[in-house]
Amino acid sequence: MKKNYKFLNNINFPSDIKKLSHNELKILAQEVREEMIDAVSETGGHLGAGLGVVELTVVLHYIFNTPNDKLIWDVGHQSYPHKILTGRKDKIRTLRKGNGLSGFTKRAESEYDPFGAAHSSTSISSALGIAMANKLSNKSDNVIAVIGDGAISAGMAYEAMNNAGSSKTKLIVILNDNDMSIAKPVGAMRAYLAKIFTGKIYFSLRETVKLIISAFSKRFSKKAGKAEDFLRSAVTGGTLFSSMGFYYVGPIDGHDIDALVSVLKNAKEVNYEGPIMIHIKTEKGKGYSFAEKSEDKYHGVTKFNVNTGVQEKSKSNAPSYTKVFANTLVKHAEKDSKIIGITAAMPSGTGMDIFGKKFPSRMFDVGIAEQHAVTFAAGLATEGFKPYAAIYSTFLQRAYDQVVHDVAIQSLPVRFAIDRAGLVGADGPTHAGSFDITYLSTLPNFVVMAASDESELVKMINTSIDINDRPSAFRYPRGNGIGIELPNLNEKLEIGKGRIIKEGKNIALINFGARLNECLIARENLIKKGINLTLVDARFVKPLDENLIWQIATDHEALITIEEGSIGGFGSHVAQFLNEKNLLDSKLKFRSMFLPDRFIDHDKPDLMYKYAGLDATNIENKILDTINSKVVVKKSN
């Protein structure tokens, strides 16, 4: 910590906060906000969300007895103030760096993080589970879930609320309504929450706070009467939440510490068997003018200048894979009115914002609802449209049943643009695209491709346009391409056909995905050692280029596959083919390189791939070990 703060310097754990007066809490909140801005300016990360919950974070730790009382942050990207106040302020400048603090909540990091999160809409479910465990164990500790207005629109949150409403288990849910998740929230829930505020006298008036406090005291007695009725009609608008079994209170000003203290204190102390919903209104990016004025409220930032708000720009002149995808799809959509863009609350992250600006009536942001996004796309496909579901690999995992049941079994031509394939750097294992090769290539009726560079990505998009009899997917990494010329829209791939990049002798390396450049570096290093290997870019895992693999296997003494995915992917499909064709005999050594059987913590991407054993040096060593190895993979019985 660089500054001499009046109170924050002496706050090491939440117990220290409890010594402060209400007015001192306000000063502490400002200091936490200042420290967070300063730290994130050095590390990059999620800024706007944390700025919006500073007062709430301070008051939650002031009122509740954490870590005995469990505080669960949905997604966890807003937890930086929480980390500053829970014994981690001296490490806050290690956020998202190797061996540093996670950008999300993480159980292994602190006892104040009772549930790890980085994907949306899990907080109410996990909190209810903890609350039920407390009930079964006769423990009286409180459980508090903080969920955003975007996250609460997801199906899992509804399922959890439905269960909680009938559980007769005390649970406090704080709905943090900032009218802004990553992008503008969409759908009926957004309209409903907005309606609650229309014409209401709320949060800034002392009388409102008194009424809310009165509601707690009266609602939980047998003599609840006109005061409560008046409160429900004049102050609250939580009919939906009430109908689901929650006692709804709000809306409250989430930046008014006095109001938050009063309401949360009563929620903690009241003897009520059932869930309570406290609806607060906050401003994402609060207290930092550049974030407040920004369209995305500085949701995610690189390092930046605190005084100017200017963020560091990428040093690469090559376009990002995401923009290559978006711009290519726009060009196709200009010629084909059947092309539809779909994203699940990630328009800017997937490039669908670019598509949406050009074709607003043909781009659908369905909110944090990947399951719905996939089946929605399937419905469009049945009517002859060409839906492109642009979803991160890690988020598509949440819709796997829909991919299987609604798309694959019916062989519907939904196109999946899988962004963030492979390891993603600072966001860590929760956002890594480690499993999509395996979970998609195991499905019948699928075409599964992986781009080795941005030129190949364009060709795969071009190819997918004409795949009208089955689903298809193409994966590509986060970040920028390698800076090569892009092909025109007419350059397409023959489905299921790979390509030989370099011809050599004795040993062959078959790449699937974006490790090709590292393979080329390894090959150049090996040439200096007198080893000239064949390098192949597979392009497809499904259908597999069996003719090419047969040729490579019979013409070489050793064959190695490499991919940015888990076991069970490309290498497994190649091994199965070789085994079926009796090619795994004493004449052929076969090895596979893939992500190790562990989750890899956040770091710089190149270091993560080094730890994973998939950088040029490890590729080179693998080839040398294979050449020198006397151990042979024998065919199975």
Amino acid, single-letter form, for residue 634: K
Task: Give the pLDDT confidence of 50-67 residue by residue, as tens digits.
Answer: 999 999 999 999 999 999
Task: Give the pLDDT confidence of 429-482 residue by residue, as tens digits.
Answer: 999 999 999 999 999 999 999 999 999 999 999 999 999 999 999 999 999 999
Between helix 257-269 and helix 22-43 the angle, nearest 10°, is: 110
Residues 101 and 164 reside in one and the same domain: yes
**78 falls in which pLDDT band (50, 70, 90)?**
very high
pLDDT at 231: 43
What CATH number is attached to the domain comprising 594?
A: 3.40.50.920
Provide the token pair at 301.
Answer: 């930032």
Residue 298 lies in a domain: no
Helices (H), 314-449: 321-335, 347-350, 352-358, 370-382, 393-396, 400-402, 436-441
List beta partners, residue 332.
none
Catalytic residue (one of 170, 281, 284, 523): 284
**In this structure, what DSSP letter does residue 92 have?**
G
Last residue of a domain, one of 236, 271, 292: 292
What CATH number is attached to the domain comprising 448?
A: 3.40.50.970
Residue 304 lies in a domain: no
Catalytic residue (one of 370, 454, 563, 564): 370
Find out whether 343 and 352 touch, Cβ atoms under 8 Å. Answer: yes
Residue 577 lies in a domain: yes
Residue 385 lies in a domain: yes
Residues 375 and 521 reside in one and the same domain: no
Last residue of a domain, one of 273, 292, 311: 292
Residue 480 lies in a domain: no
Residue 50 lies in a domain: yes
Q: Which range has the worst mean pLDDT, 47-56, 187-196, 408-417, 432-441?
A: 187-196
Our answer to whether residue 470 is catalytic in this structure is: no
Residues 459 and 509 reside in one and the same domain: no
C-alpha 216/C-alpha 267 separation (Å) is 7
C-alpha 435/C-alpha 475 separation (Å) is 11
Find out whether 538 and 629 touch, Cβ atoms under 8 Å. Answer: no
Residues 72 and 219 reside in one and the same domain: yes
Mean pLDDT value across the chain: 90
Residue 636 lies in a domain: no
pLDDT at 248: 87
pLDDT at 296: 79
Task: Give the pLDDT confidence of 242-292 residue by residue, as tens digits.
Answer: 888 898 887 889 999 999 999 999 899 888 889 999 999 999 999 999 999
**In this structure, what DSSP letter does residue 93 have?**
G
Number of domains in the chain: 3
Last residue of a domain, one of 475, 507, 531: 475
Residues 200 and 283 reside in one and the same domain: yes
CA atoms within 13 A on the CB side of 337: 1
Residues 449 and 541 reside in one and the same domain: no
Residues 224 and 149 reside in one and the same domain: yes
Residues 561 and 451 reside in one and the same domain: no
Task: Give the pLDDT confidence of 11-62 residue by residue, as tens digits.
Answer: 999 999 999 999 999 999 999 999 999 999 999 999 999 999 999 999 999 9
List beta partners, residue 146.
73, 174
Residues 87 and 162 reside in one and the same domain: yes
**584 falls in which pLDDT band (50, 70, 90)?**
confident
Our answer to whether residue 284 is catalytic in this structure is: yes
Residues 270 and 326 reside in one and the same domain: no
Provide the token pair at 474.
Answer: 């193409």
170: nearest Cα among 239, 271, 240: 271
**194 falls in which pLDDT band (50, 70, 90)?**
low
Our answer to whether residue 370 is catalytic in this structure is: yes
Catalytic residue (one of 218, 398, 415, 459): 398
Give the domain extent around 416: 321-475
Task: Count Cβ atoms within 10 A of the Cβ of residue 132 and give its class: 0-12 exposed, 13-18 middle, 19 or more buried.
Answer: middle
Q: What are phi and psi of 425, to 5 degrees?
A: 90, -130
Residues 16 and 65 reside in one and the same domain: yes
pLDDT at 592: 97
Residue 540 lies in a domain: yes
Residues 335 and 397 reside in one and the same domain: yes
